[in-house]
Amino acid sequence: MMDGTARIFLAELLFPLTALITTGFLTRQFGPQGYGLLALALTTIIWVESAITSFFAKATIKFVGETSDWKPVGAMVVRLSLKVGIAAMVLVWLLAAPLSVLLNEPDLALYLRVCAVDIPLLCVGQAYRNVLIGMGNYQGGAVARAGRWLTRLFLVVVLVEAGLSITGALLGVIGSSVAELLLSRWYLGSGMFIKQARMPIPIQRYGALLFLSSLCLIFFNGMDLFMLKILGGTAAQAGIYSAAQSLSLLPGLFSWTFSSLLLATLSRQLADRQGERARELARDAMRVTLWLVPIAAIIAGAAPEIVGVVFGTAFLPAGPLLALLIVGAVANVMLMVSLTIMTALGLPARTVMFTAPLVPLALGGHLLLIPRLGQQGAALVTVGVSLLGASVAVASVYALWKVWPPVETLLRSLLIGLVVGAASLLWPTSGLFVFAKLIVLGMISLFGYWWIGEFRQGEIAVIRSWLLRKSDPVQVI
């Protein structure tokens, strides 16, 4: 699991790296107004895509991980993903005009119709990739994801520079989905569209419940941007808020990678009746999540400097928003880990119980605070509801399985976070030197964890062995 998490997370790390370059390029090309319009189009399509893939993703990983004959499950998921993706594309084409009227942006309809082409491509590519992860082919999943982010960076820059403006950026996103689909299919092989024997598995029930849970999370996580716009915000304000959101994505990438591999591993262990090992793994997953606290503190302290160097001075108001949203992003990781544990235990209905209330809570908070505090009100509501949801979900896992994040790890994380967060705030930097500051403070956080005894001897030995194996020239050959 460590090896798989490292491979896929390193591939996912290309997303924030390439996104920083892409976003910095696009914000300078389009300005707050144009970038806000692009963000509205992409956010809408990402909502649709996330809703569809969430129906299949965790259910696919769970059932593929539990069986030795994965082809019937994989073929069923790939075919269904294509059908649903095409239907969603047509639906977006039909609703594009009314949505542009609702958001008072006439040009949005065209961009939505262009970007909707991405929906079936991404859904099929994700289906292939989820099968790869479920069967333990983490290298294939990592290569496909890396290919997506590198292709997106290249195509977006080339097409926008060619004069295609926002349409070029959207075509670059579509091209990256094609690249991920082709790479995933190459690793998995053919045969997914050949009719396979029917499998008596409750994937529809799991898919429906996990779909509802993910849909609630999607609405919750994207609601702040849309409510800001609906309640009187300008496209420029939406662009600034979206810029802050894009810089708070790193914990979310870790969340998706870690929770997917956690689900596959827990499902195999529980299927093999290794209950105690599964419980220990779940506890350590929560423990690892707490290690993100110092990272959030470092980013929050340096938020204005990060925004300035990535997006330019026009987006400096996004700094305080980033400092808030990064805290909510870490809380969402703990929420996702807790929901993953419930899914592995065969209780997908509980995931709905803990995500459905987030939507009305956030909606009420946005209606109350956005008219008074604007962008900051939207961020405060998102962070507050995220912390509440994570706390309740963790308490439920403890009541269900007697698994709880280690208290000593929580205290160590808060202490180290306080130190490096204060250092990040009080250490002024300019330009690209801010990234050197982030790296230095990150290394100090690791040293702090080691110095106060957070890392176990067995963990240090495993990491040392893993690093030596990766550096072995025989392995390279």
Say yes or no to pLDDT of 252 above 70: yes
Cα 181 from Cα 127, distance rounded (Å): 9
What pLDDT, in 10s, does the model give residues 29-65? 888 778 888 888 888 898 888 878 877 777 777 777 6
| Encoded tokens for 400 | 């269900």
Residue 183 pLDDT exceeds 80: yes
Instruction: Quickly state the pLDDT bin for 476 (edges 50, 70, 90).
Output: very low
Look at residue 17 and tell me whether its pLDDT is greater than 80.
no
Residue 410, pLDDT > 60, answer yes
Q: pLDDT-derived band of residue 327, with 50, 70 and 90 as boundaries?
A: very high
The Cα 322–Cα 312 span in angstroms is: 15
DSSP string computed for 176-232: HHHHHHHHHHHHH-S-TTS--------HHHHHHHHHHHHHHHHHHHHHHHHHHHHTT
In this predicted structure, what is the pLDDT of residue 359?
A: 92
Q: What is the rounded distance in angstroms from the CA atom of residue 297 to the CA atom of residue 180?
A: 33
Query: Given this model, what pLDDT does residue 438 score?
Result: 93
Q: Which amino acid is at 340?
A: T
Q: Residue 139 is which amino acid?
A: Q
Determine which of 1-10, 153-162, 381-390 has the lowest per-residue pLDDT on average. 1-10
How high does pLDDT run on average in the chain? 84
**What's the pLDDT score for residue 9?**
63
CA within 13 Å, CB half, 33: 2
Q: Which of 302, 336, 329 is nearest to 438 (CA)?
A: 302
- The pLDDT value recorded for residue 245 is 85
The predicted pLDDT at position 36 comes to 81
